[in-house]
Amino acid sequence: MRSIWITGTLALVACGGTGVARDDTAAAADTAAVAGTVHEVRMLLSEGGDYVYQPAELTIRPGDRVRWVNESGGPHNVAFSADRIPAGALEVLNAAMPERLGGQDLVGKLLMEDGAAYEISFAGAPEGTYAYLCTPHEMMGMQATLTVAR
């Protein structure tokens, strides 16, 4: 009997359990709070011939993630302007932006293929408005804003 209890306890600990029963709703809420919501922004060449982010304005909560998806007209990327983001956001964004283009501050990699995606977590990001643009299509007006607010 003792070996069954020890085995069960080891299995529970190995899986991250504490031996205390939890309500599934509470566990799901904890997971959502850690992961945040994932929002999708499409990057595309519109039927009217404009290079756009859809939506062009988005409001998220601290801790949410944004996934930009190259739908058409690429290559596309996401580049924030250091003078158009909240104070203290530069370091947080740089840390959250994988594969920055040429190692530049605030400039995401180019998405060459349709369906390619780039995702940034805004965990720890200061509240405020973040202006961004697509560097290959900046002169064609491909820009948008993201607001982090509680």
* pLDDT tens digits, 10-61: 333 344 444 333 344 333 333 344 568 999 999 999 999 999 999 999 999 9
- pLDDT tens readout for residues 55-102: 999 999 999 999 999 999 999 999 999 999 999 999 999 999 999 999
Decide: helix, strand or coil at residue 128.
Answer: strand
Q: State the burial class of residue 62 (Cβ atoms within 10 Å of its Cβ: 0-12, 13-18, 19+).
A: middle
Count of CB atoms situated within 10 Å of the CB of 88:
11
User: Can you name the CATH fold of 36-148?
Assistant: Immunoglobulin-like (2.60.40)
Question: Taking the domains of the chain in order of start, what are their residue ranges?
Answer: 1-35, 36-148
Q: What is the pLDDT of residue 93?
A: 97
**What dihedral angle (degrees, nearest 10) is formed by the CA atoms of 98, 99, 105, 109?**
-110
